[in-house]
């Protein structure tokens, strides 16, 4: 699937986001604006337990949609423990024409998007919140799973901490629905990142 077809799916999904989710997303956007104007810059840190599925997708998709929007903001991701970027989520990204390639082939491989300049914010691998690659100030922590929100009580770099949980696609692992579930999760997260950035553009 090419990027244009992916964007059409995203726009369609974004139009059906519930009012409850919009309230949370609007709050994140307002906190971004407040931080940017107050401190001159802002970072998003998407946090999930293993930093392997939802938080990686959120980082990738936010950074994709924020390009060319003239905002001094980048997204990062982390977990309460380090594992590795899940292969099924990588396959979902590749399905939608986000070509992730391996830079370091280890037990916890480092991936980048092909043809992009390699920076801290577009390097994808599993890491804990305190990892040196993550920002240390002017950060909004977005908790994309309930488990991480419960078990990560302090994020010292975060000015704000906002829960935005997604259902874990891990439940489909090993089933015939696995790839369809991961693709649906990728679309769901992408639609909300698209909505969030559209709100930023119209309220800047």
Q: How confident is the model over 14-56, as pLDDT tens digits?
A: 999 999 999 999 999 999 999 988 888 899 999 999 999 999 9
Q: For the purposes of burial, counting CB atoms within 10 Å of the CB of 7, is it exposed (0-12), middle (13-18) or buried (19 or more)?
A: middle
Q: Residue 41: its pLDDT value, please?
A: 87
Q: What is the pTM of this model?
A: 0.94
Mean pLDDT rounded to a whole number for the chain: 91
The residue-averaged pLDDT of 4-17 equals 93
Whether residue 115 is predicted with pLDDT greater than 60 in this model: the reply is no
Q: Is the dihedral of CA 170, 100, 63, 188 positive or negative?
A: negative
With beta carbons less than 8 A apart as the criterion, state whether 158 and 45 touch.
yes
Q: How confident is the model over 73-90, as pLDDT tens digits?
A: 999 999 999 999 999 999
Q: Residue 175: its pLDDT value, please?
A: 97
For every residue of 10-71, DSSP letters joined together read HHHHHTT--HHHHHHHHHHHHHHHHHHHHHS-EEEEEE-SSSSSHHHHHHHHHHHHHTTS--
Distance, in Å, from the CA atom of 168 to the CA atom of 153, rounded to the nearest integer, reads: 20
Query: Hey, which of 37-46, 147-156, 164-173 has the most confident mean pLDDT?
Result: 164-173
Long-range contacts (CB closer than 8 Å, 24 or more residues apart) made by 180-185: 182/53, 182/88, 182/89, 182/91, 182/92, 183/92, 183/95, 183/96, 185/53, 185/54, 185/57, 185/89, 185/92
Domains, the chain: 3-203 (3.40.50.2300)
Q: Give the pLDDT band of residue 116 (cuts 50, 70, 90).
A: low
């Amino acid at each position: 699937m090419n990027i244009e077809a992916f964007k059409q799916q995203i726009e369609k999904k974004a139009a059906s986001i519930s009012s409850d989710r919009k309230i949370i997303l609007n709050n994140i956007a307002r906190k971004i604006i407040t931080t940017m104007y107050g401190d001159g810059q802002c970072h998003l840190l998407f946090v999930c337990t293993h930093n392997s599925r939802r938080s990686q997708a959120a980082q990738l998709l936010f950074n994709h949609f924020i390009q060319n929007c003239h905002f001094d903001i980048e997204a990062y991701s982390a977990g309460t423990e380090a594992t590795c970027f899940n292969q099924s989520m990588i396959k979902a990204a590749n399905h939608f024409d986000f070509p992730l390639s391996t830079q370091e082939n280890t037990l916890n491989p480092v991936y980048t998007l092909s043809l992009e300049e390699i920076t801290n914010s577009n390097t994808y691998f599993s890491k804990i919140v305190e990892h040196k690659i993550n920002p240390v100030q002017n950060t909004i922590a977005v908790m994309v799973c309930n488990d991480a929100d419960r078990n990560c009580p302090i994020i010292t770099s975060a000015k704000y901490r906002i829960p935005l949980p997604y259902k874990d696609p891990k439940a489909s692992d090993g089933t015939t629905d696995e790839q369809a579930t991961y693709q649906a999760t990728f679309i769901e997260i992408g639609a909300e990142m698209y909505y969030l950035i559209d709100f930023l553009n119209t309220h800047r």
